[in-house]
Chains A and B, each alone.
Chain A
Amino acid sequence: MTGQETVGGQDLSGLRPLPVTVCPSCQAAYAYYRAVCTRCGTTTEKRELLLAGHVYSAATVHRPSAGFEPWTPYTVALVVCDLGPRVLAMTASTQIDDRVVVGLAALGQANVPFAFPCPPGDLS
């Protein structure tokens, strides 16, 4: 990843893979752990992936959730990933319909899902 975005002055370019659930049979992916694939009934596996997708919607938070006060206001995008799952990710400059890649970024003490503009040709 070559993203240069910052939030609250912090460099978030070092995206790490996001924990997801994947079906080893039909390759369906889920944003939170499900023991059984809803599509084919196969027992799933846990994986870590960077997820490419597009922004479905985004909201800017002015009254933060606990722990997110230092970053306020911040924008959270609902991202529809190409593999299927929808994830909520902080974002700094993306808008609805933008292509993004989502991974975990270190934000303060926490690892937060973060959506960067998708580099051309990368992860498509």
Chain B
Amino acid sequence: MNVLAHITGAAEAGIAFKAGRSAIELAAEVAAAAVADAGLQLADIDGLAVVKGADLLPGDRPSPELADYLGISVSYVDNTLVGGVSPIIQIGHAADAIAAGRCARVLVVYSSAQATNRERKLAGHARPADHQVTIAERAAGLPFPIGPNALAAARHMWEHGTTLEHLAAVAVSDRQWAQLNPGALRRDPLTMADALASPAICSPLRKIDCCMITDGAGAVVVESARSSSPRAVQVRGFAEYHKQYSILSVEDLLTTGAVRTGPAALQEAGASIADVGIVQLYDAFTILPIVLLENLGFAEPGKGGQFVLDGNTMPGGRLPMNTQGGGLAHCHPGMYGIFLVIEAVRQLRGEATGRQVPDPRVAVAHGSGGGAFGGSQATLVLAAP
């Protein structure tokens, strides 16, 4: 039984289409809630991980700024920024730092007021006008981040016969879970007919294939493998992999780094695919969890869409996925990684009121980031207390 660390606290705050508050206010609120959930005081925290970003914490040195705002001093900071997966990677790095004795209790915070700030549009995060990769990527008018996802979806349809119905099934699956979650932002019913009638944005992707643009904050507390709290979720395996940054460097849009991180993290955890009771897979667009289900080994190559359409990921299915509603229906404050982990923690603790999966023992939280589609990947394997 390999235990790398424990997640002892988890919290969300400010989840709203517009919270009307700044990112650092939401960060402080969610930090306090996560620390309290861990049974700690803010003064107990000696490591801090937070993502820097234009619509996140506004300053250019977010760790000392947030530490100061929280009134804490720390012996470890991490500002890893590789896209939406970043907080998952920060949790993996925190486990290593704790094991190395650099610190004992790391607070991993993500906070964004992008919707309130109106800094995020369909065109994605702003990049400098003279950024040569951006110039090359956008010269033909492909919108980001949806464009690379649409290209992946079109290729999946061409190679494997995936259909619009397969894509829509992911949105329907997420929505069914969201309807069980009072905290989810999109809770109105979504039928397959509704989904298929959704307007095209970047074909083959339609509006219902896209995550929301919301505010929100999430935080977890990572402590040592020796923690004995009855609510401490075990961090059992972690792996990260970074391939291309640009869509212009992708060899194969349908094979992400998840084909490496999934097996590596499960092996470290001493677990197999069959042990996994729930998955939380990044769903910025519906094609992404389809590819991830295949790349991680939960579905046959090319059959991820059918796996979802068959109901496997929906309430009552054999592999519940995105059980809080995912980025399509729960929230999506720019980077969703921390929320994948928070929901896995709640399910493994048996605290997912209204949507609790019966006794899941092992959860996989997998995040995707990088610059285009499938660039930076990380898998976290968690086990019940």
Contact = CB atoms under 8 A, between A and B. Distances in A.
- Chains A and B form a bound pair: yes
Contact of A65 (B123, B150, B152, B250): B123
Contacts of B132: 32-33
30 contacts: A31-B136, A31-B248, A32-B135, A32-B246, A32-B248, A57-B158, A59-B147, A59-B150, A59-B204, A60-B202, A60-B203, A61-B142, A61-B147, A61-B202, A62-B199, A62-B201, A62-B202, A64-B143, A65-B123, A65-B143, A67-B141, A73-B203, A76-B142, A76-B147, A86-B248, A88-B137, A90-B141, A97-B158, A112-B139, A113-B140
A74 B151 contact: no
B258 to A, nearest CB: 19
Nearest to B135: A32
A59 B203 contact: yes
Contacts of B135: 32
A65 B205 CA distance: 16
Q: Nearest 4 A-B pairs (CB), nearest first?
A: A59-B150, A68-B141, A32-B136, A57-B155
Most chain A CB within a 10 A radius of its CB, from B122, B135, B140, B147: B140
Nearest to A90: B140
A87 interface: yes
B25 to A, nearest CB: 32
A89 B155 CA distance: 16
Nearest to A58: B154
A61 B141 contact: yes
Interface residues of A, number: 32
B203 A62 contact: yes
Most chain B CB within a 10 A radius of its CB, from A67, A76, A90, A96: A76
- The size bracket of the interface on B is 20 to 34
Contacts, number: 99
Nearest to A67: B141
A60 B188 CA distance: 29
B143 to A, nearest CB: 5
B200 interface: yes
Contact of B142 (A62, A88, A96): A88
B200 A60 contact: yes
Given A65-B123, A65-B142, A86-B247, 13 more contacts: A32-B133, A32-B135, A56-B253, A58-B154, A59-B142, A59-B203, A65-B138, A66-B123, A71-B141, A88-B142, A88-B248, A96-B155, A112-B139
Interface in A82-123: 85-90, 96-97, 112-114
Contact of A74 (B136, B138, B141, B152): B141
